[in-house]
Amino acid sequence: MPTSLDLSRRPAPQPRPKSLSGLSIPALKAEMEALGLDGKQAGMRAKQLRRWIHHFGARDFSMMTDIAKELRGLLAERYVLDRAEIADHQVSSDGTQKWLTRFGPGIEGESVYIPDVGKAGALCVSSQVGCTLNCTFCHTGTQALVRNLTAQEIVQQVLITRDALDEWPSAEEGRLLTNIVFMGMGEPLYNLDNVAEAIETISDGDGIAIGRRRITVSTAGVAPKIPELGQRTNAMLAISLHATNDDLRNELVPINRKYNLAELMDAIAAYPSLGNSRKVTFEYVMLKGVNDTLAEAHDLVRLLKGVPAKINLIPFNPWPGTPYECSTWETIEEFADVLNRAGYASPIRTPRGRDILAACGQLRSESVKKSAAEKRREALAGGEAGA
């Protein structure tokens, strides 16, 4: 006769060990103090761990030969050096790579490595899963915000890319990953504490060692936070602009209804240390029949007068269901010519990774859409069923 189980006698599920990969120095020190080390010892061990994890890319505590064997054993009992789970990894025909990273149940974000950008290659990282801004031309804007990413989760996107590129230990020369851009999912200035902590870790010269002048943070225009970003991070600033008047920008970038162009330009003027060697990058997506006239090119010149600026013209990257089209190449070149003649460097950004939806404005978490792997499996199953 079946009997009911006494569930109270079942052992409680054990929590997964915490990963130290991607943690900042203060966070590592706090973990060492939790192990019972005093302040000075905890600080020293935190710096040793930082170097092993973020300079050498260590995945095993046994590698850490300058840490006492007993402590290494304790670390191995309490912690792991795992990265977040890679749910999907795609490689474009042009060499662009995209990772779908699962940070927890239903918490998935995308990051994109673009070769031959910046000094050698750039990684576009996400700061949130989803977004609250609802920019109408951006695929990410169609996904509701799930949550902010932690500083550790942001840094782990860099570690995952370094793993894939086999770039351990960190080197001064010959790197494939040289630049970090906060241009992935989310609005970085709505997660500024974690973004600032992540930048501190990424730029640490004894760790990942990507300098702050090679780290760019892009905002859609959270004006009150822009000067604070510069004061706290000393990172390069990019503005997701896309329109030269408030009426159109209200439509394309709805945050403009809260912080209009006048407020945005005042905030930019207050960004620390702007000059010819430290320019603001303005991103301007080219939308056919929407914002691409020569009159608007001249308006853009007037809007940016006196601002040390570079203007990235971005051919619109289509995504499923979008109402927009990309401007013609001739129109984009004529627009760029107006800006160049006014003295602004205005490169036309070559679309990269379109075939894997990794191009600018195309990121959208697999939390709310089927992964490419699932689609391939379904397509294969469908083909077999029809055979």
> pLDDT tens digit string along 47-58?
999 999 999 999
Whether the per-residue pLDDT at 379 is higher than 80: the answer is no
Residues pairing with 181 in the sheet: 124, 216
Measured between alpha carbons, how far is 80 from 31 in angstroms, rounded to an integer? 12
**Helices within 149-205 (DSSP H only):** 151-165, 192-202
Give the pLDDT score at 212.
96
pLDDT in tens, 140-170: 767 788 999 999 999 999 999 999 999 999 8
Nearest residue to 218 via CA among 172, 171, 268, 155: 268
Alpha helices in the chain (DSSP H): 25-34, 39-54, 69-78, 151-165, 192-202, 226-233, 246-252, 261-269, 294-303, 329-341, 372-386
Q: Decide: residue 276, CB within 10 A, 0-12 exposed, 13-18 middle, 19+ buried.
A: exposed
Q: Which of 344, 325, 135, 141 is nearest to 241 (CA)?
A: 135
The pLDDT assigned to 8 comes to: 55
The pLDDT assigned to 1 comes to: 44
Antiparallel, parallel or unpaired: β 236-240 and 147-148 = unpaired
DSSP secondary structure letter of residue 119: T
Mean pLDDT of 326-339: 97
Residue type at 296 in one-letter notation: E
* pLDDT tens per residue across span 19-44: 999 999 999 999 999 999 998 999 99
How many Cβ atoms are within 10 Å of 38's Cβ, its own excluded? 9
Q: How far apart are CA 356 and CA 372, in angstroms?
A: 8
Spatial distance between the Cα atoms of 194 and 184, rounded to a whole number of angstroms? 15
Query: Per-residue pLDDT tens for 162-196?
Result: 999 999 998 878 899 999 999 999 999 999 999 99
* Residues near 242 by beta carbon (within 8 Å), at least 6 away in sequence: 135, 137, 249, 252, 253, 283, 284, 285, 287, 291
- The per-residue pLDDT for 191 is 98
- What does the pLDDT read at residue 45? 97
Q: Rounded to 5 degrees, what are φ and ψ at 89?
A: -140, 120
Other Cβ atoms within 10 Å of 296 Cβ, number: 19
Phi-psi region of 110 (alpha: psi -120 to 50; beta: other; left: phi over 0): beta
Tell me what the pLDDT averaged over the chain comes to: 89
Q: What is the pLDDT of residue 112?
A: 95
Local confidence band at 350 (pLDDT 50, 70, 90 cut-offs): confident
Q: What is the pLDDT at residue 180?
A: 98
Q: Tell me: pLDDT of 381 over 70.
A: no
Residue 377 scores a pLDDT above 80:
no
Q: What is the pLDDT of residue 141?
A: 67
Gap between the Cα atoms of 313 and 291, Å rounded = 12
Residue 353 has what pLDDT?
A: 60
Residues designated as active site: 110, 360
Residue with more model confidence, 6 or 291: 291
> Per-residue confidence at 120, pLDDT binned at 50, 70, 90?
confident
